[in-house]
């Protein structure tokens, strides 16, 4: 598995698209914090405000980038025919899937964490704050879950790309599902439906407080809905990958 | 040692590879020869488990997917353009080097071996077909594998490149490696391969040393005569094998030109043409694949 992770890291690292996507996450956080911070220069900020700026505000952007990074893991291979050299290097397809999931998730989570670190630094530099906010476990929980959920979205995109054999469709599916289908479902059925919806359940989990997202408190279901969707997607990919010829999309 | 057994692949109703079994011995260059669409590439893909189908191929006694470090056992080049166009040649190889646990200095060494050192940092998308082939070869050679499987490696190479490739593959075989090369370039195969596997419409038509295949064609005699039917009967009576090549034309094997001429003279049969066919792989190949070609323009395929 170490060879596979180094292989994937070198694959990702040697593509400009990877750095553009990571730069997008960090750059967006930087610009948004500068704009907000300069507008509220030296205004007091509490832990909930920090959690909003550092995690919630950019969550969809981070997930979108994570989806793109994850989708490229297989998408590029099928698009450019590099799936053949990849499979010659790692012929066990289940292992290859696992390696790509791990690499894309780690990179996406690292990008989210870097963006959070930049945000915290800027928020603290531009606002007035009390040291006690760092003692608030809900702030750290929000940051940690924001990072983990970004990695999970990347993993979902890897699985979808393995099934779709391309990178476009998985990103479109995730954007449509997270950005259109789920919000419309909540509009129709009310906030109580959120824990049953994969992406909104993640939004609930990452929230500093339930009220901050108007979605209600995350029940126990919120912890399992997305992981179950992810497990089903990866199981399908695991089943489908070995049954297909290594042809380009 | 590579041993392929019962390789079979069907695309819909088309049987692309039909129960192929053959060994590829170490220390030899084995040529996989066949016309376009004969199933050469599909055979290589099947051997490496890249396409699903029947049969199995054992590399040193194990299927490819069960090898602990496959790139150290088999180096394969299946498609020169299987590269990300925006990745440099060196980065492409460094990525593969990680898979084979090969140090970066070997990457630079193999780039030098294939003549790509000056363009190592250039994006592979800008490479000519010949350069992409060299990069594909570099990838195959990277982990110094004990066997090589190369699909049409001479495609896109200039004459110097083809000569270089021939030398390289001969040297690999001389080091005891098993080398399997698919090609439709007959003249090149005649110079390169020690042993030939000829396939047509997915079926194995010949599995024999190149010399023997050449020898087979050496005995062929071309005859053009208005009395071809009568002459054919007489030749068959003498133990020759006769194939009709069109109106009044025969290809005769198992007998020499002198015997054919004397037989015709004895029976007062007219001959318009009597010639022995040059010893060439092309002649042997065309004889073998006659009727086994899927994509053929009108009037082609006749020697």
Q: Per residue of chain A (249 residues), what is the pLDDT tens digit?
A: 888 999 999 999 888 889 999 898 888 888 888 887 777 767 777 878 888 888 888 888 999 999 999 999 888 888 888 899 999 999 999 999 999 999 999 999 999 999 999 888 888 888 787 888 888 888 898 999 999 999 999 999 999 999 998 888 999 999 999 888 888 888 887 767 777 888 888 888 888 776 555 666 667 777 888 999 999 999 999 999 888 887 655
Residue B296, pLDDT score: 43
Q: Is residue B239 exposed (0-12), middle (13-18) or buried (19+ Cβ within 10 Å)?
A: exposed
Cβ contact, residue pair A10, B91, below 8 Å:
yes
Is the ipTM higher than 0.90? The answer is no
Rounded CA separation B96/B107 (Å): 9
Cβ contact, residue pair A245, B84, below 8 Å:
no
> Domain boundaries in chain B?
2-208, 221-276
Q: Minimal Cα–Cα distance from B91 to chain A, Å?
A: 7
8-state DSSP, B194: S
Q: What is the pLDDT of residues B235-293, one digit of tens each?
A: 888 888 888 877 889 888 878 888 899 999 999 999 999 988 765 666 667 666 665 55
Q: What is the pLDDT of residues B71-101, one digit of tens each?
A: 999 999 998 888 888 899 999 999 999 999 9
Backbone angles phi, psi at B7, to 5 degrees: -65, 130
Give first-to-last CA distance, chain B, whole Å: 36
User: Quick one: average pLDDT of B150-174?
Assistant: 90
Using CB atoms, pick whichever of B64, B91, B99 lies closest to residue A3: B99
Rounded CA separation A232/A227 (Å): 9
Report field, pTM of the whole predicted structure over 0.95: no
DSSP track, B263-297: HHHHTT---SEEEEPP--HHHHHHHHHTT--SS--
Residues of B in contact with A246 (CB under 8 A): 45, 50-51
Band of the pLDDT at B300, cuts 50, 70, 90? Answer: very low
With contact defined as beta carbons under 8 Å apart, do A65 and A25 qualify?
yes
**Cα dihedral value A86, A89, A92, A94, nearest 10:** -40
Residue A216, pLDDT score: 66
Q: Minimal Cα–Cα distance from B101 to chain A, Å?
A: 7
> What would the two tokens of residue A63 be?
């997930």
Distances (CA, A) of B234 to B240, B243, B266: 9, 13, 11
Residue B291, pLDDT score: 54
Rounded CA separation B158/B168 (Å): 15
**Cα dihedral value A228, A229, A232, A235, nearest 10:** -100
Range(s) of the domain holding residue A230: 2-243
Residue B56, pLDDT score: 93
Distances (CA, A) of B164 to B133, B170, B179: 13, 10, 16
CATH code at B2-208:
3.40.50.300
**Matching CATH number, B221-276, of 3.30.1490, 1.10.3470, 3.30.70, 3.30.1380:** 3.30.70
Total tally of structural domains belonging to chain A: 1
Q: Is B58 within 8 Å of chain A by CB?
A: no
């Amino acid at each position: 598995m170490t060879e596979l992770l180094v292989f994937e890291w070198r694959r990702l690292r040697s593509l400009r698209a990877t750095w553009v996507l990571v730069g997008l996450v960090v750059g967006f956080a930087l610009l948004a914090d500068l704009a907000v911070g300069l507008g509220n220069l030296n205004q007091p900020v509490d832990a909930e405000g920090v959690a909003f700026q550092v995690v919630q505000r950019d969550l969809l952007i981070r997930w979108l980038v994570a989806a793109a990074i994850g989708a490229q893991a297989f998408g590029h291979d099928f698009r450019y025919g590099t799936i053949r050299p990849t499979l010659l290097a790692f012929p066990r397809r289940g292992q290859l899937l696992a390696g790509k999931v791990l690499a894309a998730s780690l990179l996406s989570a690292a990008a989210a964490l870097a963006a959070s670190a930049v945000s915290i630094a800027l928020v603290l530099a531009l606002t007035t704050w009390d040291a006690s906010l760092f003692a608030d476990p809900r702030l750290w929980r929000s940051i940690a879950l924001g990072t983990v959920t970004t990695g999970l979205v990347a993993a979902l995109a890897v699985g979808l790309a393995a099934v779709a054999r391309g990178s476009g469709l998985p990103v479109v599916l995730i954007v449509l599902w997270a950005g259109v289908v789920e919000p419309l479902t909540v509009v129709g059925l009310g906030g109580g439906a959120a824990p049953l919806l994969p992406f909104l359940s993640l939004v609930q989990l990452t929230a500093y407080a339930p009220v901050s997202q108007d979605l209600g408190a995350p029940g126990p279901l919120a912890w399992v809905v997305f992981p179950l969707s992810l497990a089903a997607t990866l199981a399908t990919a695991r089943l489908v990958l070995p049954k297909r010829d290594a042809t380009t999309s | 040692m590579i041993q392929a057994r019962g390789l079979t692949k069907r695309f819909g109703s088309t049987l692309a590879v039909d129960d192929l079994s053959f060994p590829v011995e170490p220390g030899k260059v084995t040529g996989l020869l066949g016309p376009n669409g004969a199933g050469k590439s599909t055979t290589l893909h099947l051997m490496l488990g890249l396409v699903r189908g029947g049969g199995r191929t054992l590399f040193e006694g194990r299927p490819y997917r069960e090898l602990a470090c496959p790139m150290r056992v088999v180096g394969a080049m299946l498609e020169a353009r299987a590269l990300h166009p925006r990745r440099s040649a060196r980065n492409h190889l460094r990525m593969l080097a990680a898979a084979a646990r090969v140090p970066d200095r070997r990457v630079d060494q193999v780039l030098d071996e294939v003549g790509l050192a000056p363009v190592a940092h250039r994006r592979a998308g800008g490479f000519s077909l010949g350069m992409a082939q060299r990069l594909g070869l570099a990838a195959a050679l990277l982990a110094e594998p004990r066997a090589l499987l190369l699909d049409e490696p001479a495609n896109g190479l200039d004459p110097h490149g083809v000569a270089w490739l021939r030398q390289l593959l001969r040297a690999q075989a001389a080091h005891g490696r098993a080398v399997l090369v698919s090609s439709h370039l007959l003249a090149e195969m005649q110079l390169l391969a020690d042993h030939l596997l000829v396939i047509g419409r997915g079926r194995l038509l010949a599995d024999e040393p190149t010399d023997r295949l050449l020898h087979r064609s050496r005995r062929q005699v071309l005859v053009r005569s208005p009395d071809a039917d009568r002459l054919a009967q007489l030749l068959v009576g003498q133990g020759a094998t006769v194939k009709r090549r069109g109106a009044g034309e025969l290809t005769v094997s198992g007998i020499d030109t002198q015997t054919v001429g004397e037989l015709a003279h004895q029976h007062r049969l007219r001959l318009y043409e009597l010639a022995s066919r040059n010893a060439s792989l092309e002649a042997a190949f065309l004889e073998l694949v006659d009727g086994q070609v899927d994509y053929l323009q009108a009037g082609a395929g006749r020697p």
